[in-house]
């Protein structure tokens, strides 16, 4: 093989490796699937401030969102329906806003008639720990606080397919 083709193939492979490594890079301090979430304090938007460990003992669905994020806004209704149907019984649903301005996050929650607990992450600790380098992000956490799944992009969380995914991932009957 001519040297210039070998060089081109090497450079192409190197670029691919660098691109793949960059795209797989997580956020600083991100907790991997299979690991237990670290403790964190959460400032309430629509609920009193709480600690993440307050939700242990029951499976948890965490949705990371922002009021300016169109896909986040799109899926919020399905999370509300999921929470109303199963919240507090078989599982808990919480939201974590990454908004810079608390008033914008509060306004969105109020305008959308969201009743499940929502918190704000001003200092990016939760955003980084959960791996929210893209929004929306939904995490499925088991009763012991272990991350069982991370799902990016808007979903219909109360659809039959999503309910089956949640039940299978968290090993619960819905």
Compute the average pLDDT of residues 6-34.
Answer: 55
Give the Cα-Cα-Cα angle 26, 123, 57 (nearest 5 degrees). 75
Nearest to 58 by CA among 170, 153, 159: 170
Compute the average pLDDT of residues 35-50.
Answer: 95
Residue 81 clears pLDDT 70, i.e. is over it: yes
3-state SS assignment for residue 29? coil
Whether omega for the bond prior to residue 46 falls within 30 degrees of 0, making it cis, is: no
Q: Tokens 């329906």 appear where? A: 81
Distance of CA 151 to the CA centre of its chain: 7
Class of domain 30-170: alpha beta
Q: Distance (Å, rounded) from C-alpha 146 to C-alpha 155? A: 22
Q: Distance (Å, rounded) from C-alpha 41 to C-alpha 99? A: 17
Q: Distance (Å, rounded) from C-alpha 116 to C-alpha 85? A: 11
Domain ranges across the chain: 30-170
Q: What is the pTM of this model?
A: 0.85
Query: What long-range pairs does 20-24 form, CB within 8 A, spacing at least 24?
Result: none
Residue 85 clears pLDDT 80, i.e. is over it: yes
Q: Distance (Å, rounded) from C-alpha 6 to C-alpha 2? A: 6
Which of 13-22, 115-124, 153-162 holds the top average pLDDT? 153-162
Q: Are 135 and 95 in contact (CB under 8 A)?
A: no
Per-residue confidence (pLDDT) for residue 27, from 0 to 100: 87
Phi, psi of 83 (to 5 degrees): -65, -45
């Amino acid at each position: 093989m001519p040297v210039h083709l070998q060089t081109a193939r090497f450079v192409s492979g190197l670029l691919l490796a660098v691109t793949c490594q960059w795209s797989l890079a997580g956020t600083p301090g991100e907790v991997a699937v299979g690991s237990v979430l670290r403790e964190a304090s959460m400032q309430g938007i629509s609920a009193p401030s709480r600690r993440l460990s307050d939700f242990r003992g029951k499976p948890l669905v965490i949705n990371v969102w922002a009021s300016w994020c169109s896909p986040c806004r799109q899926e919020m209704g399905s999370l509300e329906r999921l929470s109303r149907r199963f919240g507090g019984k078989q599982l808990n649903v919480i939201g974590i806003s990454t908004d810079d301005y608390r008033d914008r996050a509060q306004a969105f929650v109020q305008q959308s008639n969201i009743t499940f607990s929502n918190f704000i992450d001003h200092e990016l600790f939760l955003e980084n720990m959960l791996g929210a380098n893209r929004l929306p992000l939904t995490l499925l956490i088991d009763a012991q606080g272990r991350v069982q799944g991370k799902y990016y992009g808007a979903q219909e969380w109360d659809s039959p397919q999503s309910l089956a995914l949640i039940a299978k991932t968290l090993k619960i009957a819905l």
